[in-house]
């Protein structure tokens, strides 16, 4: 993991190097030393964490011929290296050199890259800067821009450092966060700090500036009548290529897989190079969350050594929870941060430098409401039988069955009114003040071309996952390891999300395509077993144990800010409702995390 700060004086005045390092101080959580560059109007600091065996230069790169300065934060990989010197998987030093040679963050080079990165190219003598964010938004890019200067960084806290930029909160972003909505575009949690959207680049000169998009998903011709085995083979090949790319640059023993009993993480383990190590939690005190039996079956099948990490006691809000919400950039905190940190730290202690996860697999079945519609439209065998079963399920109150019926072709005429009605709907837990702050437009990912299939994935392949991915990367950096997410790869997503939805959800079952593709690689108990990942009871146990502290610190505190946005009478019952997990507990967690974060900001 790496992070960056850039300061550019538009009038050509020199930047004080001490100012650069003060701005870079919030990046301390990313480990290692700051590599910096300062010449006249431009200053760059990049903080890298990389293996001891790396021989390539890291940090800002200066092209000896043109004098251009380039830096890459994250992992910049080439699908096809324009110089012919390096294949995909090239580390940050190669990416910076290629960008400096091509100049101005070349669109074609960016569009043909692969990975999670922020790329910066600047010419101090001519007075221009180009700053780009990766295709899917794996690395965040925040910036402040006025007539005199550009301050950009991978964290808002770095942009705000020193008081030159006001840290006033953006109340619309707060309302979206507490309303469980996702604020796409340029909005951050701070009024004066903007965010660069994924697949965009920012161009700044001494006299003007512009933001443009350099990439979006292509429209692929996907024949629905292709043999299932052919579709499964293509899916498996793309996933295997992504797993291989995530392991590039490291010996297998330096790579770990965060292994649960679910299909996504076990698929990553099955396709990873032999010699990688697996780490998995055990739960003796919370047996309903334990997946040890399925993990053991996978380990036997793959001849994989699994390091067991005890998870008991690491409930949400474990320890002195008031001190956990200290990140100055946003209130996003994973409720299972303590649990995950123990596993990542165990992998780091064992010598692993990168941990592969299966988090992005959810993107592949985000369109499950459309599975029945696509099944009927493509006249698939068993479509009528599935329609009858869905009607019965809807009659019994199954919400997924009802949503599938709402997407059927006969209701096309009602589609727009329904969407408008849903758009006007306001979350019942928000106060009137917060409801008035919500944006009227539905979030939309600019990387998805317009079309009927694009609307199915607008949140999952857009702002929702980008925001969660950014928070997860902070968590990994704190533990000293790099994050690898093979499912969050645009070549894989580009093909998978354009398939008919029944390939990812059918007859109430998720991921039929993945199950078909992985047959023979994983045990039947994993491919055909019931759903796993039952951490809801684990979450509720933490709320139950911390009931008094939450009540005193959040609900009864005289300086609490959250009641401006969330109705107390709606939320308070969920503090005591710990028998079964419900959506209200998600809002409770967001209120707790926002309140403690906001209090730290205003101290």
Domain ranges, ordered by start, for the chain: 2-173+187-213, 228-315+331-364+469-523, 369-425, 546-602
How confident is the model over 442-446, as a mean pLDDT?
69
**324 or 84, which is more confident:** 324
Res 405: pLDDT: 87
Res 546: pLDDT: 87
Whether pLDDT at 114 is above 90? no
Contact 2, 24 (CB under 8 A): no
Among 16-20, 365-369, 480-484, 543-547, whose mean pLDDT is lowest?
A: 365-369
Residue 138 DSSP label: S
Whether pLDDT at 420 is above 70? no
Res 302: pLDDT: 94
Among 124-133, 267-276, 326-335, 481-490, whose mean pLDDT is lowest?
A: 326-335
Q: Please report, rounded to a whole number, the percentage of residues in the chain having pLDDT higher than 90.
A: 39
Closest CA to 280 of 259, 310, 255: 259
Determine the Cα–Cα distance for residues 481 and 357; give it in Å rounded to an integer.
12
* Whole-number CA gyration radius for the chain: 24
pLDDT tens-digit series, residues 466-486: 677 777 887 888 788 888 989
Determine the Cα–Cα distance for residues 387 and 373; give it in Å rounded to an integer.
9
Res 136: pLDDT: 86
pLDDT tens-digit series, residues 63-75: 998 899 999 888 8
Question: 484-512 burial, b for 16+ CB within 10 Å, e for fewer?
Answer: bbbbbbbebbbbbbbbbbbbbbbeeebbb
Whether pLDDT at 342 is above 60? yes
Strands laid side by side in the 128-133 sheet? 61-62, 69-74, 117-123, 128-133, 200-205, 209-213
Whether pLDDT at 320 is above 50? yes
Phi-psi region of 12 (alpha: psi -120 to 50; beta: other; left: phi over 0): left
User: pLDDT class for 461, splitting at 50, 70, 90?
Assistant: low
**573 or 319, which is more confident:** 573
Whether pLDDT at 89 is above 50? no
Res 90: pLDDT: 42
pLDDT tens-digit series, residues 29-61: 666 678 889 999 999 998 876 544 444 456 788
Whether pLDDT at 603 is above 90? no
For 560, the token pair is 């609490």
**204 or 506, which is more confident:** 204
How confident is the model over 442-454, as a mean pLDDT?
69
How confident is the model over 135-160, as a mean pLDDT?
92
Res 53: pLDDT: 42
Res 406: pLDDT: 82
Whether pLDDT at 431 is above 70? yes
User: pLDDT class for 518, splitting at 50, 70, 90?
Assistant: very high
Contact 150, 129 (CB under 8 A): yes
Res 239: pLDDT: 95
Phi-psi region of 59 (alpha: psi -120 to 50; beta: other; left: phi over 0): left
Query: Hey, what CATH class is 228-315+331-364+469-523 in?
Result: alpha beta
Res 525: pLDDT: 84
Among 114-118, 151-155, 358-362, 436-440, whose mean pLDDT is lowest?
A: 358-362
**454 or 118, which is more confident:** 118
Compute CA distances 144 → 71, 190, 210, 250, 252, whole Å. 19, 10, 13, 36, 41
**320 or 72, which is more confident:** 72
Determine the Cα–Cα distance for residues 261 and 251; give it in Å rounded to an integer.
25
Res 83: pLDDT: 45
Pairing mode of beta strands 209-213, 77-78: unpaired
Kindly give, in sequence order, each residue whose CB lies less than 8 Å from that of residue 420, ignoring residues fewer than 6 positions away: none
User: pLDDT class for 184, splitting at 50, 70, 90?
Assistant: low
pLDDT tens-digit series, residues 207-230: 999 999 999 888 887 776 788 899
User: pLDDT class for 570, splitting at 50, 70, 90?
Assistant: very high
How confident is the model over 75-91, as a mean pLDDT?
51
Whether pLDDT at 123 is above 90? yes
Is the pTM above the cut of 0.85?
yes
For the domain 2-173+187-213, what is the CATH superfamily, name and number? Aminohydrolase, N-terminal nucleophile (Ntn) domain (3.60.20.10)
Res 580: pLDDT: 86
Counting DSSP H helices and E strands in the chain, the numbers are 22, 21
Determine the Cα–Cα distance for residues 60 and 72; give it in Å rounded to an integer.
8
What is the SS3 assignment for 203?
strand
User: pLDDT class for 186, splitting at 50, 70, 90?
Assistant: confident
What is the SS3 assignment for 428?
coil
Determine the Cα–Cα distance for residues 213 and 472; give it in Å rounded to an integer.
25
Res 85: pLDDT: 39
Whether pLDDT at 187 is above 90? no
For 251, the token pair is 């010996």
Q: DSSP states of 549-566 as a string?
A: HHIIIIIS-TT--GGGTB
Choose from 234-248, 279-293, 392-406 the range with maximum mean pLDDT.
234-248
User: pLDDT class for 84, splitting at 50, 70, 90?
Assistant: very low
């Amino acid at each position: 993991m790496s992070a960056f700060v850039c300061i550019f004086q538009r009038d050509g005045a020199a930047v004080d190097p001490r100012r650069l390092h003060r701005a870079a101080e919030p990046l301390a959580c990313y480990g290692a030393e700051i590599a910096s560059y300062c010449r006249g109007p431009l200053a760059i600091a990049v903080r890298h964490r990389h293996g001891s065996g790396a021989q390539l230069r890291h940090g800002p790169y200066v092209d000896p011929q043109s004098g251009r300065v380039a830096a890459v934060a994250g992992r910049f990989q080439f699908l096809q290296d324009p110089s012919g010197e390096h294949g995909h998987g090239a580390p940050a030093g190669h990416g910076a050199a290629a960008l400096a040679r091509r100049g101005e963050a070349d669109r074609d080079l960016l569009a043909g890259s692969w990975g999670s990165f922020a790329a910066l190219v600047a010419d101090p003598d001519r007075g221009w800067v180009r700053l780009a964010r990766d295709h899917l938004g794996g690395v965040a890019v925040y910036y402040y821009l006025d007539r005199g200067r550009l301050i950009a960084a991978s964290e808002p806290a770095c942009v705000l450092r020193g008081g030159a930029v006001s840290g006033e909160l953006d109340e619309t972003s707060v309302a979206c966060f507490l309303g469980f909505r996702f604020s796409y575009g340029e909005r951050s949690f701070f009024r004066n700090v903007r965010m660069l959207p994924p697949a965009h680049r920012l161009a700044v000169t001494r006299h003007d500036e512009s933001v443009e998009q350099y990439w979006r998903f292509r429209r692929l011709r996907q024949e629905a009548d292709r043999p299932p085995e052919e579709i499964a083979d293509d899916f498996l090949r793309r996933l295997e290529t992504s797993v291989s790319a995530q392991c590039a640059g490291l010996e297998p023993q330096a790579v770990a897989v965060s292994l649960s009993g679910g299909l996504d993480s076990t698929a990553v383990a099955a396709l990873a190079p032999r010699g990688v190590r697996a780490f998995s939690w055990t739960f003796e005190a919370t047996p309903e969350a334990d997946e040890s039996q399925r993990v053991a079956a996978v380990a036997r099948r793959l001849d994989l050594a699994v390091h067991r990490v005890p998870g008991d006691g690491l409930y949400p809000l474990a320890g002195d929870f008031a001190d956990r919400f200290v990140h100055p950039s946003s209130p996003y905190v994973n409720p299972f941060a303590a649990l995950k940190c123990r596993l990542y730290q165990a992998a780091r202690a064992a010598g692993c430098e990168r941990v592969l996860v299966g988090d992005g697999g959810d993107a592949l079945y985000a369109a499950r409401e459309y599975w029945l519609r696509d099944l009927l439209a493509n006249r698939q065998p068993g479509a009528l039988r599935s329609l009858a079963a869905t009607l019965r399920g809807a009659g019994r109150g199954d919400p997924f069955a009802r949503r599938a019926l709402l997407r059927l072709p006969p209701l096309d005429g009602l589609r727009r009114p329904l969407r408008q009605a849903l758009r006007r709907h306001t979350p019942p837990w928000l106060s009137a003040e917060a409801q008035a702050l919500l944006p009227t437009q539905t979030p939309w990912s600019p990387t998805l071309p317009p079309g009927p299939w694009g609307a199915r994935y607008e949140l999952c392949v857009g702002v929702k996952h980008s925001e969660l991915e950014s928070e997860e990367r902070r968590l990994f950096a704190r533990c000293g390891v790099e994050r690898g997410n093979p499912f969050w790869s645009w070549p894989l997503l580009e093909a998978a999300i354009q398939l008919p939805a029944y390939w990812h959800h059918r007859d109430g079952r998720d991921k039929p395509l993945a199950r078909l593709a992985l047959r023979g690689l994983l045990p039947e108990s994993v491919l055909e077993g019931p759903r796993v990942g039952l951490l809801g009871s684990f979450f509720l146990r933490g709320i139950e144990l911390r009931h008094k502290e939450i009540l005193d610190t959040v609900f009864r505190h005289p300086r609490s800010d959250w009641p401006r946005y969330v109705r107390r009478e709606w939320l308070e019952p969920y503090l005591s409702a710990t028998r079964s997990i419900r959506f209200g507990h998600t809002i409770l967690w967001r209120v707790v995390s926002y309140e403690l974060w906001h209090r730290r900001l205003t101290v």
